[in-house]
Amino acid sequence: MSEQNQNTNTDQVFIFDTTLRDGEQSPGATMTFEEKLQVAELLDDMGVDIIEAGFPIASNGDFEAVAEISRRSKNSVIAGLARAIPADIDRAAEAVRFANRGRIHTFVSTSPIHLAHQMRKTQDEVLEIVTKTVTQARNLIDDVEWSGMDATRTPIDFLAKCVEAAINAGATTINIPDTVGYAVPDEYYNMIKTLIETVPNSDKAIFSTHCHNDLGLAVANSLAGVQAGARQVECTINGLGERAGNAALEEIVMAIKTRGDTLPYHTEIDSTHLARASKIVAAASNFNVQFNKAIVGKNAFAHESGIHQDGMLKNAETYEIMTPESVGIKATSLVMGKHSGRHAFKEKLKELGYELGDNAFQEAFQRFKELADRKKHVYDEDLVALVDDEMGSVEDKIKLVSMSVSTSTGGAHQCDLVLSIEGDQKSVSVTGTGSVDAIFNAIKEAVGADPHLVLYGVDAVTGGTDAQANAHVRLEMDGKIASGRTAEPDTLVASARAYLNAYNRLLVERGASAQGAMAG
């Protein structure tokens, strides 16, 4: 029995983070190799019990990321996802074999609608698949998780047979996914409780929740599952995930921490890392966090109402059930300027949670000095945006060299643009109906491609007229979606660089070279 399963009867809830796997399946949320390593390192440091690092058979890139995360992990179990297919399971085992503690997470559909229309298998055939594939995985590694896809739309009797078969074959964790976000809390509670109470060998495995947010109930369902006896929760930073997303890790953790009276459990998560984790994942995935997002949104601890402000001044507990500091949110501070040196800059980055290599540090410091020359006050948020931007664009093959935009009221808008495309420079001059339209048209002409603009937005990193503009762009081409973002004091430059960052990610998604894309 695994070390984790020896704790089945305790009140600890194990946190299984799938940001790098299920979260990355959100259209446009693809992360670079370096970004995946950065996210995994933070998850490991903050106390995540299990990191689902990817789907190793999906691509060579996914395999390499899971393998490298396995090599670097200090504390977390590293899991690789595998369909109920022998080749998938072998590939997952190969990727996680470098970890101090590895896990194979294999799944198969169980609901009638999936069996009839997706798998075209009978229930008996599925039971045979469960036994065969879990046995294969257990022969390769001690820690095996089994999931019944679309479990909440599966008849409970058949689901119980699948669970029993998986445990008999060696599964140490049983995951009951609400794959399409269909369940409500009472229903999910009863399903978990029934399985634990009726499956003969249920005491030999930890039961797990994996809830999607299609009806906005992912966190509520997950906590209901815990109350029913589940001791693992699968979740993502910021609730990132396909469709409406997954249960949000930060909400699960803080609900348990804050409401010990009704949720008498604990996790090993250091909650002071939550705000930082939210920012890193938002930057890496290019998915902004909504302002009113629980726990980590900009407005989560903001009070505008006069009554609320009065209460807060008298006693913070009148309108705050947790402190900003408990999730790692600090007041903005003015600490850096154009006269700050390398040592002060490095110490500030450490305080903000960054440890950069020599080359990355030198590049970040140079950008900081350039920013300090252009911006009166450099806030913590500016430094976070600067470093996240640098890390997100380090692998870009197409980069902005120079740009000039001319505008006139009611007249033409023109962009003169120079790009570096894998070392070669390309110059174009293009007009548009507006400044941003002209910029995007110029980039499309320079790279020789016309991706569909799915989303474009700009917001300010901090207050003030000299605030950096945080631009985000989402592009679609040939069925692939990628997002890009960047922060710059100049809104038009930020827009151009965000577009290029998204296009570079599209090239990675399509497996194309920059020169090949330009030629095609």
In DSSP notation, 218-239 reads: HHHHHHHHHHTT--EEEEBGGG
- Compute how many other C-beta atoms are within 10 angstroms of the C-beta atom of residue 355: 11
Spell out the residues 6+ positions from residue 474 whose beta carbon is closer than 8 angstroms to its own.
28, 286, 453, 454, 455, 456, 481, 482, 483, 484, 502
246 annotated binding-site participant: yes
Determine if residue 396 is labeled as part of a ligand binding site.
no
| Alpha carbons 409 and 411: distance in angstroms, whole number | 5
Angular region, 47: left φ>0, alpha ψ -120 to 50, beta rest: left
Residue 201 is labelled as binding a ligand: no
- Burial of 268 from C-beta contacts in 10 A (0-12 / 13-18 / 19+): middle
User: What's the pLDDT at 157?
Assistant: 97
DSSP state of 212: B
CA 183-212-102 angle, 5° bins: 120
In the chain, which stretches have pLDDT less than 50?
A: 1-9, 303-313, 319, 334, 512-520
pTM of the model: 0.79
Q: Is 9 annotated as a binding residue?
A: no
- Helix H or strand E segment including 488: strand 480-488
Q: Going by DSSP bridges, is the β-strand pair 14-17/232-235 parallel, antiparallel, or unpaired?
A: parallel
The dihedrals phi and psi of 284, each to the nearest 5 degrees, come to -70, -40
> Beta 469-477 vs 334-336: how paired, if at all?
unpaired
Describe the strand order of the beta sheet including 480-488 as a list of residue ranges: 452-460, 469-477, 480-488
Q: Which two tokens stand for residue 485?
A: 């973002």
Q: What is the pLDDT, as a whole number, of residue 302?
A: 64
Q: What is the pLDDT of residues 217-242, one digit of tens each?
A: 999 999 999 999 999 999 999 999 98
DSSP-based three-state secondary structure for 159: helix
Q: Give the span between the Cα atoms of 179 and 320, in whole angstroms.
A: 33
520 three-state secondary structure? coil
The beta strands (E) that lie in 2-161 are given as 14-17, 50-54, 77-83, 102-109, 144-149
Pick from 71, 107, 103, 130: nearest CA to 3: 103
Domains along the chain with CATH numbers = 14-285 (3.20.20.70), 302-390 (no CATH), 398-507 (3.30.160.270)
Tell me what pLDDT residue 225 has. 98
498 within 8 A of 472, measured Cβ to Cβ: yes
Q: Which residues touch 233 (CB under 8 Å, ≥6 apart)?
A: 13, 14, 15, 16, 208, 209, 222, 225, 226, 247, 252
pLDDT in the model for residue 371: 84
Contact, 205 vs 172, CB < 8 A? Answer: yes
What's the CA gap between 496 and 472, in Å, rounded? 10
pLDDT value of residue 333: 54
- The structure tokens 């890790």 sit at 249
Q: What is the DSSP letter of 115?
A: I
Q: Residues 262-307: pLDDT tens digits?
A: 999 999 999 999 998 998 898 888 788 888 899 988 777 764 444 4
pLDDT at 307: 43
Between vectors from CA 10 to CA 252 and to CA 205, what angle results, nearest 5°?
85
Bridge-based pairing state of the strands 398-406 and 413-421: antiparallel
Comparing CA positions, the residue from 243, 245, 172 lying closest to residue 211 is: 245
How many Cα atoms occupy the beta-carbon half-sphere of 387 within 13 Å? 25
User: How far is residue 324 CA from its own chain's centroid?
Assistant: 22
